[in-house]
Structure 1
Amino acid sequence: MAPSQDPSRQKEPIELDGRTHEGGGQLLRNALVLSSLTSTPLRITHIRGNRSGGGGLKAQHLACVNWLAHATNAHVEGAEKGSKTLEFRPGVVEGLSPAFEERTLEGGEEVYAAKLEIGTAGSTSLALQAVLPFILFSKFPEHRKVFIAQVLLPTLARIGLPHIIPSLTKRGWSTGGTTIGSFTLSIPPQTLPLPTFTLTPETPQTKPSNIHATILAPTTLHTHITTILPTTLSRYFPSVPLTITTESSLSEKRLYILLTATYPHNTHILAADHLHVRKIRSLERAATEMIELVASNLAREVESGACVDEHLRDQLVIFQALAQGRSVVYPGEEDGELREPSLHARTAEWVARRMLGVRFDAEGVCEGVGFGREDGDGVEGVVRGLEEVSLGD
């Protein structure tokens, strides 16, 4: 893409080493979307440098780069499969981003539509980490909705984001024969800035009111799983009601289990899951081991007293950084100490600090920049943060 006359194209880019902390795709995704939202030029070296096989951009990452480049009229260098260095300079966008298309649905509802196609059996939920914040923090006429295809979203309504309605067309798999899935999401307009939010436990800590299991497995294994699952969970969660949903995975090489623990009044949900990717010698043994693993992981999350599980915590970092004011995501405790952030969470926090100037403490507190404020203070806060980073890092 040819660069425009945008003065921001002349700025020196923020440079990030892709080997920092987790050193994988999350650093790339978070940096790209923050660059796109704040029109901050970015240069990433050693992309996915901590990954086996040499790292570099894979199809999933390249799809995110190209989508955001189109959305922001960005000048991009290094947007090639396998590339380990990427320069991304957002350009000028007059009016609505070119990533969105006006569309009228059956029934006359007017929406803006956007589509992300990975083209492989890569993780759509990971790709969405680079696209969703851009969509949620973009401005649309209030009478329209945003309609997105080929993406995945964990529900974030309880922190103030719009209630998103998913619709699955086809499930995709990377095991048991590669198949590409498809689903759509309907997202109502988001009012900016995102208000401050607090995810801290109740006192005293209550136990889950219900545990729900979602099982994707060959039908021949359903009876075995539904027989041993209640017994296993009763050891960790006595007297907690259990509901089970089963679905055929259409292959004996595909096993997936998700457990969610819902708390009274739906204050929060904790989750643990596992996708079996190793060679399966015995279906029943593999399922039994998976159930024990996921049950013990969920129990660890519940015992910590956290309001979000380890995997959701790192996905909330970017929203804390962009929200207005002091947001808290309590990390939980382990052996009497606050739990340390995972490498993914550390990576997300580091990127947010470098890109926005925000900081996170051990208690999961962040003073966000208030991105999208009408008075412009949110943008000025980003600029001030970047100046502090350039002087202090």
Structure 2
Amino acid sequence: MDPDSESVPAAQEVDGSVMEGGGQILRVAAALSCITGAAVNISKVRAGRSSPGLRPQHLSGLQLVSDLCGGVLQGANIGSTDVRLTPGKIRSGSYTADTQTAGSVCLLLQVALPCALFTDASSQFCLKGGTNAEMAPQIDYTLKVFKPVLEKFGVHFDCDIRMRGYYPKGGGEVSVTVNPLKQLQPVTMIERGNITKIHGRAHVAGVLPYKLAKDMSAAAVRTIRKEIKDLYINIQALQEKDKACGSGNGIIIIAESSTGCLFAGSALGKKGVYADKVGIEAAEMLLRNIRHNGCVDEFLQDQLIIFMAAAKGTSRIRTGAVTLHTQTAIHVAEQLTEAKFTITKCEDELSSSVTFIIECQGSGVDNLNL
């Protein structure tokens, strides 16, 4: 048969240098290609980054998606700036992905999870790399913020932390089970309500002293107290002995609202940075995300776009300032699906903060395998 004949659909062209110009374009495009069954050509991969092209973590994510859908990958090697994914049929099963670096397991999950929802049975993933890595959500964020909010869309997955891995060694491992669904439900999150609870964990692993965890926790509580006087704040200080590879320290603080909205602030320790400073950085990030009166924090915003785009019906989510990551995810989602997004600015008489409502008429992807 002539390969140029009508039956071979042309691949969708995605420009990897637009807007945010990072790995996120790759993740959203690969996942949507897998879900919709349409081939994608992604050019100028990560053109906006200091070391452009595929890094080990992006490559392992792409290979994972390709495995999931029995796809064909072209241009999949380190440093490559042009990649093509031609997906086959999505299949449930057991999959392993290993960045072999401190590359984030959470970013591997970000690309695989949407695909695994459209299989015929539950899938198991063994993901290896960094669990608490820079420039990516910490695994605690994935479990405590991302997972409960995704449940509103009807998504159910379990995640077990087998081993924590820190920069530069990695060596972390999580085991994830994802259940498929018939369709994603649309979600409305526009009333934030009041903050009712603040809790978190400050941890040290490896050779670092327990005192660092206590210092991070105390500094974070002091910082939050200046602004939020009347809430009990519980940030546990933990020493991770046997479930951590390498040495590292970090903190994540989560706020819950009366309507079930979740927000987080987090920070990781670095060589030569005082523990107090790490605690204060996480607390300030949390406070910044609470002040705007939206229903999601700046990091959840862009992670929800792909689910809004695939859901059947209209989702509406109130946010603070719309991030470039979110605008980029919307751009790719609109290009690869029938979803339509609108962003409306809301002036609030009661507070000085400006919020936005991201509305999406989802494309209503059906799971044809169930």
The answer to whether the superposition gives a TM-score over 0.5 is yes
User: Which residue matches 1:322?
Assistant: 310
Mean Cα deviation higher: 116-125 or 311-320: 116-125
Q: How far, CA to CA, are the matches of 2:97 and 2:13 in structure 1? A: 27
- Structure 1 residue 239 corresponds to structure 2 residue 230: yes
Q: How far, CA to CA, are the matches of 2:6 and 2:82 in structure 1? A: 20
SS at match of 2:201: strand
Task: Give 5+ residue unaligned stretches, structure 2.
Answer: 129-138, 344-356
Task: Give 5+ residue unaligned stretches, structure 1.
Answer: 102-112, 333-338, 375-393
Which one has a larger percent strand, Structure 1 or Structure 2? Answer: 2
User: Which residue matches 1:229?
Assistant: 220
Assess, with a 3 A threshold, how the Cα gap between structure 1 residues 158 and 199 changes in structure 2: closer, same or farther. farther
Q: What code does the residue aligned with 1:240 have? A: L
- Structure 1 residue 304 corresponds to structure 2 residue 316: no
Choose which of 183, 205, 230 in structure 2 pairs with 1:193. Answer: 183
Q: How far, CA to CA, are the matches of 2:117 and 2:103 in structure 1? A: 23
Number of residue equivalences = 333
SS at match of 1:184: strand
1:318 CA drift (Å)? 0.1
Q: How far, CA to CA, are the matches of 1:135 and 1:4 in structure 2? A: 33
SS at match of 2:319: coil
Assess, with a 3 A threshold, how the Cα gap between structure 1 residues 21 and 58 changes in structure 2: closer, same or farther. same
Contact preservation (8 Å) 2:43, 2:83: yes
Q: Which has the larger radius of gyration?
A: 1
1:222 CA drift (Å)? 3.1
Q: How far, CA to CA, are the matches of 1:300 and 1:227 in structure 2? A: 19
User: Which residue matches 2:61?
Assistant: 64
Q: What code does the residue aligned with 2:201 have? A: T
Contact preservation (8 Å) 1:30, 1:130: yes
Q: How far, CA to CA, are the matches of 1:373 and 1:298 in structure 2? A: 37
Q: How far, CA to CA, are the matches of 1:300 and 1:14 in structure 2? A: 38
**Normalised TM-score (structure 1):** 0.78
Q: How far, CA to CA, are the matches of 2:2 and 2:181 in structure 1? A: 30
- Structure 1 residue 129 corresponds to structure 2 residue 119: no
Mean Cα deviation higher: 316-325 or 268-277: 268-277
Matches within 5 A, 1:139-150: 139-140=120-121, 145-150=122-127
Matches within 5 A, 1:1-393: 10-53=8-51, 55-91=52-88, 93=89, 97=91, 100-101=92-93, 113-140=94-121, 145-150=122-127, 153=142, 154-155=146-147, 156-175=149-168, 178-187=169-178, 189-202=179-192, 205-206=193-194, 208-217=195-204, 218=208, 219-248=210-239, 254-264=248-258, 267-277=260-270, 279-280=271-272, 286-332=274-320, 339=321, 341-362=322-343, 363-372=357-366
**Normalised TM-score (structure 2):** 0.82
Which one has a larger percent helix, Structure 1 or Structure 2? Answer: 1
Q: How far, CA to CA, are the matches of 1:220 and 1:323 in structure 2? A: 46
Contact preservation (8 Å) 1:259, 1:271: yes
1:195 CA drift (Å)? 1.3
1:6 CA drift (Å)? 12
SS at match of 1:360: strand
Q: How far, CA to CA, are the matches of 2:2 and 2:189 in structure 1? A: 42
1:280-328 deviation digits (Å, cap 9, x = unpaired): 1xx5xx2222222222221121121111101011000000000001001
SS at match of 1:169: strand
1:13-70 deviation digits (Å, cap 9, x = unpaired): 11111111110100001000101111111111110000002x1111111112212222
Contact preservation (8 Å) 1:209, 1:241: no
Give the share of equivalent positions with the same residue, in percent: 26
